[in-house]
Each structure stands twice: as structure tokens, then as C-alpha cells.
Chain A
Amino acid sequence: DGGITQSPKYLFRKEGQNVTLSCEQNLNHDAMYWYRQDPGQGLRLIYYSQIVNDFQKGDIAEGYSVSREKKESFPLTVTSAQKNPTAFYLCASSPRTGTLPGELFFGEGSRLTVL
């Protein structure tokens, strides 16, 4: 089955530690995205990548880093510089062409809790 796989589903981290969230897709999509979801705030864009080896900052990129070495993979690192990292993180993908603008396919999310 084609889809987006995020891991781990739940993650606990001590303050001061970096943590990397995995996102893998087998949909052959060019574009991939990372969103953060907090209660009462909706989804906010962290980083996005339209093509391998290229990515852009979203609206709340501070304290996060990404890489896009393979088309299938777009890992997100939450660094110790991120002041409020506890949140639900969602990865998404979309084809660059032949689709409707705004049509995203989401993974099931990773919930990060900082202790």
C-alpha cells in the first residue's frame, strides 16, 4: 500500500536533547512538508521541500532542521534551540504536477513530549 510512514508515533525527550523524526513516503511524490499542530493553533508549516537536495523554511522554522537526500525521505530534527517542542508533528507529501494545489497526503503523526 502506498502511503506516508512517520516514526516514532510517540517520543519522549529530555530538555536539551536533539531528536529526529522520520518521514518516509512511497507515493513517488516530489514535494514533502513538515507541520506542527498545537491545540487551538491549527497546522503551522515548519519546512518544505519541492525537490531532492532543496528545502525552504516555513512559518516556524526556528529550532528545527531538515534534510532531503532522497526523494522518499524527509527527516525533521527538533533541536535543543526549539523553545516549546512538545507538539504533534505531521509530515505530508504531494506531487509537483498533475494534482490540485493544496492537496496534501498526511502521515499519522508523531507526538513529541519534552519532560
Chain B
Amino acid sequence: QKEVEQDPGPLSVPEGAIVSLNCTYSNSAFQYFMWYRQYSRKGPELLMYTYSSGNKEDGRFTAQVDKSSKYISLFIRDSQPSDSATYLCAMCTGGGNKLTFGTGTQLKVEL
């Protein structure tokens, strides 16, 4: 079993839809949770960052962490074609920036 599980998709939604992306994990020592966005043939860029449980909102994006269920989510409101990308969840225990990544979910937002 992988430490971090993420549905690879692809996920296709119409413009304006609410998108929900999820990851589950098995290591209870993870404390820092990230979502990276990766456009085709590019490197990932940090999109959202949360520490411990709770919600964090940034514009159309909301990151949610439920440590009791070992489950993290990224919600995208009013999705746009420019949101079409692969979304990677990542997490670490805190020391040394050694991240464990999910496989990534490919999202396509269609006009």
C-alpha cells in the first residue's frame, strides 16, 4: 500500500463547476500538507499549504485537512479552463523538506 493515495483521473468538468480533489494517507506523522499544480510539460508549483487539521482558503481554492480520517481535499470553485492541469498532493513530517507525493490527478475544465 502506498503512503499517499490519489485518484489519477482524468477528471473532466464543465467551466464553472466546483471541483473536489482528494488524497488519503497512512502515516499519522505527516503534519504539513500541500497541493502543487503542474501544467503539461512544466514543473509543479505550490498552490496551497496547510498545517495540521482545518481549512484554508485562497481565492477560488480551499484546502481542507482531516487528520483524524487521514484525508485531505482541494476544492476549486468556479473552475476555469486555465485550471486544467495535474494536481499533486504532497505531505511531510516537518524535517528536511522530504516530501511524499501523491500520483497526481489530471483535471480538464471544458468550455
**Does A109 contact B42, Cβ atoms closer than 8 Å?**
yes
Is B99 an interface residue when CB atoms closer than 8 A count as contact? Answer: yes
Interface residues of B (CB under 8 A from A): 4, 6, 8, 32, 34, 41-46, 49, 51, 88, 90-92, 94-99, 101-104
26 residue pairs from A and B, CB less than 8 Å apart: A6-B43, A31-B97, A33-B97, A40-B8, A41-B103, A42-B103, A43-B44, A43-B90, A43-B99, A44-B101, A48-B97, A100-B51, A101-B95, A102-B90, A102-B97, A102-B99, A103-B97, A104-B44, A104-B46, A104-B99, A105-B46, A106-B43, A106-B45, A108-B41, A108-B42, A109-B41
- State how many angstroms separate the Cβ of B56 from the closest Cβ of chain A: 12
The number of residue pairs between A and B whose CB atoms lie closer than 8 Å in the complex comes to 68
Instruction: Name which residue of chain B comes closest to A6, CB basis.
Output: B43
- Whether a CB of chain B sits under 8 angstroms from the CB of A45 is yes
Q: How far is the CB of A22 from chain B (nearest CB, A)?
A: 14
- Residues on B with C-beta less than 8 A from A102 are 32, 34, 49, 90-92, 97, 99
How far in angstroms is the closest Cβ of chain B from A40? Answer: 6
B44 to chain A, nearest CB (A): 5
Q: Which residue of B lies closest to A9 (CB)?
A: B41
The CA of A103 and the CA of B92, in the complex, are separated in Å by 10
Beta-carbon contacts of A1-26 to B below 8 Å, as 1s and 0s?
A: 00010100000000000000000000
> Cβ of B97: which chain A residues have Cβ within 8 Å of it?
31, 33, 48, 94, 101-104
